[in-house]
């Protein structure tokens, strides 16, 4: 979908009038009787959407009542945008113009954002996709407060979410670890940033035992993608490193997932897709930050050479891990990446991973489970960003006692603790490979949806992209 700003009302046809109070309605596109009608229906019957057919064009009025907290108001505008795009597609319209009155710029941008995100479809493999495709392809904005810079940043952000959704929705037969790395290379080239993909031989030379162990049951080789964005005007003397889990398909390995728990396991590379999209979007937006993204990738399958419970793995940093469950594989490949991140002497490292069912059971689809070590200020800033974009962050305790649950009798640590607090012990496992300021985001409950929820589609949601971009744009990372 294209988003444009227009400066003249001469060519305007189908119009969406966006207001936060019917008292702000003007007669630009409405007659006096229509304005009175809207005010009466809104006041007495609580109607907030009105459609007027002019025969040659349509006028839709959408009223979004402000909430007590501004971030909740912006979320209401996003949901309103989704409702409008559904109406426009139902009427088979291809374009519309949004005209806001009494609505501040953040609300208008949120409305367009919701409209765009709600319009998303993944219908690549549907035979009659031409019939199924949404008709809405263009949104025009008629508003003096919106600048081309505003629109460009919005386009970049929405493109990043779309790219992430597309990657997460892609079946593994079309997106193994090698092809995922190729997709990352293409994204990096488009963004004009440095990229390098380590092949299996290079990974072996780096002794990334976690990544190699998880890959041992696969016929496809693993990859390890390194992206770096370092503009001349970067303000941070030490880089921020983004690490994403890239398990392109997770059978659970020899601890095979039962029943239908494998149905959506193509989603298990959502963390890697998120981090790749974020660093590329940051580059396109020209953020003055030195950023690095690390994406280890493999599938977790079963064959005669697959790693098994009871194995002991030697990781990239030399630590040994006793494997008690091959379905706790994501932390193994992330641990190698976190060890590798030391070479960049980072100011902060953030992981994003569909890591545990515990995270999903803890807070459901309403936010991301988060923990931190030595990064309190950054975590607080991330929570603020979470509210801003309504990808909310729930911080969990990270007490030392949780690490004790990972002690092993035959190795430096186990790869899994008891069932209780599984999302925290997974985070504590990762922490053992850090030492620098560290934030862990477990996106298991939000990266993929079984059914549509407003502007968040079924399938890949792209959750985390807007969160991290807002964080990078608004936060000052202390050296």
DSSP string, 59-91: EEEEE-PPPSSHHHHHHHHHHHHHHHHHHHHHT
Map residue 228 onto helix, strand or coil. strand
Q: What is the pLDDT of residue 55?
A: 82
Plot region of 102 (φ>0 → left; ψ -120 to 50 → alpha; else → beta): left
Helix axis angle, 148-169 relative to 270-285, nearest 10°?
A: 160
Catalytic residue among 331, 392, 456, 466: 331
In contact, 184 and 224? CB cutoff 8 Å: no
Per-residue pLDDT band at 479 (split at 50, 70, 90): very low
Residue 149 has a pLDDT of 94
Record the tokens describing residue 373, joined without a space: 């070590």
Q: Which of 41, 257, 365, 374 is catalytic?
A: 257
d(CA 280, CA 331): 24
pLDDT at 49: 93
Region of residue 292 (left: phi > 0; alpha: psi -120 to 50; beta: else) = beta
Rounded Cα distance between 187 and 158, Å, is 15
How much is the mean pLDDT over the chain? 94
Query: Are 437 and 378 within 8 A, CB to CB?
Result: yes
Candidate from 24-38, 178-192, 281-295, 338-352 with smallest mean pLDDT? 24-38
- Residue 22's pLDDT is what? 87
Instruction: Answer whether residue 150 shows pLDDT above 50.
Output: yes
- Per-residue confidence (pLDDT) for residue 26, from 0 to 100: 74
pLDDT at 389: 97
Does the pLDDT of residue 53 top 60, yes or no? yes
Q: Which backbone phi and psi does 340 adopt, to 5 degrees?
A: -65, -30
Q: What is the mean pLDDT of residues 29-40?
A: 88
Distance from CA of residue 145 to its chain's centroid? Answer: 28
pLDDT given for residue 278 in this prediction? 98
CB 466 within 8 A of CB 161: yes
pLDDT of 284 above 70: yes
Q: Per-residue pLDDT tens for 204-238?
A: 999 999 999 999 999 999 999 999 999 999 999 99
pLDDT of residue 449: 94
* 471, 393 Cβ separation under 8 angstroms: no
Record the pTM.
Answer: 0.95
Q: How far is CA 171 from the centre of its chain?
A: 18
Query: What is the pLDDT averaged over residues 52-78?
Result: 92
Residue boundaries of the structural domains of the chain: 2-144, 157-474
Q: Is the pLDDT of residue 350 over 60?
A: yes
Q: Are strands 291-300 and 246-250 parallel, antiparallel or unpaired?
A: parallel
What is the CATH number that goes with domain 2-144? 3.40.220.10
pLDDT of residue 252: 95
Q: What's the whole-number mean pLDDT along residues 375-398?
A: 97
257 catalytic? Reply is yes
Tens digit of pLDDT for each residue in 442-472? 999 999 999 999 999 999 999 999 999 999 9
The tokens of 273 are what?
Answer: 């897709």
Confidence band for 126, pLDDT divided at 50, 70 and 90: very high
Percent of the chain residues topping a pLDDT of 70: 98
Architecture of domain 157-474: 3-Layer(aba) Sandwich (3.40)
Mean pLDDT, range 89-115, rounded to an integer: 94
Q: How far is CA 189 from CA 193, 219, 240, 412, in A?
A: 6, 28, 20, 40
- Would you place residue 14 in the very low, low, confident or very high pLDDT band (cuts 50, 70, 90)? confident
**Which residue did the predictor score with more confidence, 188 or 99?**
188
State the greatest distance between any 2 C-alpha atoms of the chain, in Å, as a whole number: 81
Residue 464, token pair as written in the block: 């985390």
Instruction: Give mean pLDDT, residues 84-108.
Output: 93
Distances (CA, A) of 216 to 227, 249, 288: 25, 14, 40
CB 13, CB 56: distance < 8 Å: yes
Q: Is the pLDDT of residue 114 over 50?
A: yes
pLDDT band at 9 (very low <50, low <70, confident <90, very high): low
The encoded tokens of residue 75 equal 């979320």
Q: Name, in order, each residue with C-beta under 8 angstroms of 25's C-beta and a sequence gap of 6 or more.
A: 17, 19, 35, 38, 39, 61, 101
54 is catalytic: no
For the chain, give the percent of residues with pLDDT over 90. 86
Looking at the predicted structure, is the pLDDT value of residue 476 above 70?
no
312 DSSP β-pair partners: 322
> Around 308, how many Cα atoms within 13 Å sit in the side-chain half-sphere?
4
For position 10, what pLDDT does the model report? 62
Which of 323, 267, 338 has its CA nearest to residue 299? Answer: 267
Residue in the structure block whose two tokens are 């304005």: 35
To 5 degrees, how large is the angle CA 295–CA 262–CA 368?
55
pLDDT of the residue at 30 = 84
CA quadruple 244, 248, 249, 255: dihedral sign: negative
């Amino acid at each position: 979908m294209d988003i444009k700003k227009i400066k003249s009302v001469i060519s305007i046809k189908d119009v969406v009038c966006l207001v936060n109070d019917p008292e702000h309605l003007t007669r630009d596109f409405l007659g006096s009787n229509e304005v009175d009608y809207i005010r009466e229906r809104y006041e007495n019957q609580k109607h907030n959407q009105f459609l007027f057919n002019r025969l040659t064009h349509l006028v839709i009025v959408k009223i979004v009542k402000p909430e007590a907290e501004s971030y909740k108001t912006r979320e209401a505008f996003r949901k309103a945008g989704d409702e409008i795009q559904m109406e426009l597609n139902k009427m088979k319209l291809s374009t519309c113009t949004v005209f806001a009155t009494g609505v501040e710029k953040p609300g208008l941008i949120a409305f367009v954002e919701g409209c765009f995100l709600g319009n998303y479809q993944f219908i690549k493999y549907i035979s009659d996709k031409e019939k199924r495709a949404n008709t809405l392809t263009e949104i025009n904005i008629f508003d003096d407060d919106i600048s081309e810079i505003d629109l460009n940043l919005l386009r970049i952000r929405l493109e990043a979410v779309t790219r992430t959704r597309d990657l997460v929705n892609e079946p593994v037969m079309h997106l193994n670890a090698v092809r995922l790395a190729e997709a990352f290379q293409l994204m990096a080239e488009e963004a004009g940033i440095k990229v390098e993909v380590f092949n299996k031989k290079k990974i072996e030379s780096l002794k990334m035992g976690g990544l190699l162990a998880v890959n041992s049951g696969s016929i496809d080789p693993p990859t390890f993608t390194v992206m770096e964005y370092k503009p001349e005007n970067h303000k941070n003397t030490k880089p921020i490193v983004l690490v994403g889990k890239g398990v392109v398909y997770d059978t659970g390995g020899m601890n095979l997932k039962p029943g239908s728990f494998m149905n959506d396991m193509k989603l298990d590379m959502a963390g890697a897709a998120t981090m790749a999209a974020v660093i590329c979007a940051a580059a396109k937006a020209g953020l003055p930050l030195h950023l690095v993204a690390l994406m280890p990738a493999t599938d977790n399958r079963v064959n005669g050479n697959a790693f098994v419970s009871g194995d002991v793995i030697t990781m990239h940093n030399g630590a040994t891990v006793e494997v008690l469950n091959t379905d706790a594989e994501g932390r193994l490949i992330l641990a190698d990446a976190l060890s590798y991140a030391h070479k960049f002497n980072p100011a902060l490292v953030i992981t994003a991973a569909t890591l545990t069912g515990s995270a999903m059971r803890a807070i459901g689809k309403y936010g991301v489970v988060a923990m931190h070590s030595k990064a309190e200020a950054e975590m607080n800033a991330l929570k603020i960003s979470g509210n801003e974009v309504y990808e909310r962050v729930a911080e969990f305790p990270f007490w030392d006692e949780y690490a004790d649950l990972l002690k092993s009798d035959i190795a430096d640590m186990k790869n899994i603790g008891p069932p209780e607090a599984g999302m925290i012990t997974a985070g504590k496992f990762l922490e053992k490979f850090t030492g620098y300021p560290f934030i862990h985001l477990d996106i298991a409950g939000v990266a993929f949806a079984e059914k549509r929820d407003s502007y968040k589609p079924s399938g890949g949601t792209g959750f985390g992209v807007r969160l991290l971009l807002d964080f990078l744009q608004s936060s000052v990372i202390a050296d």
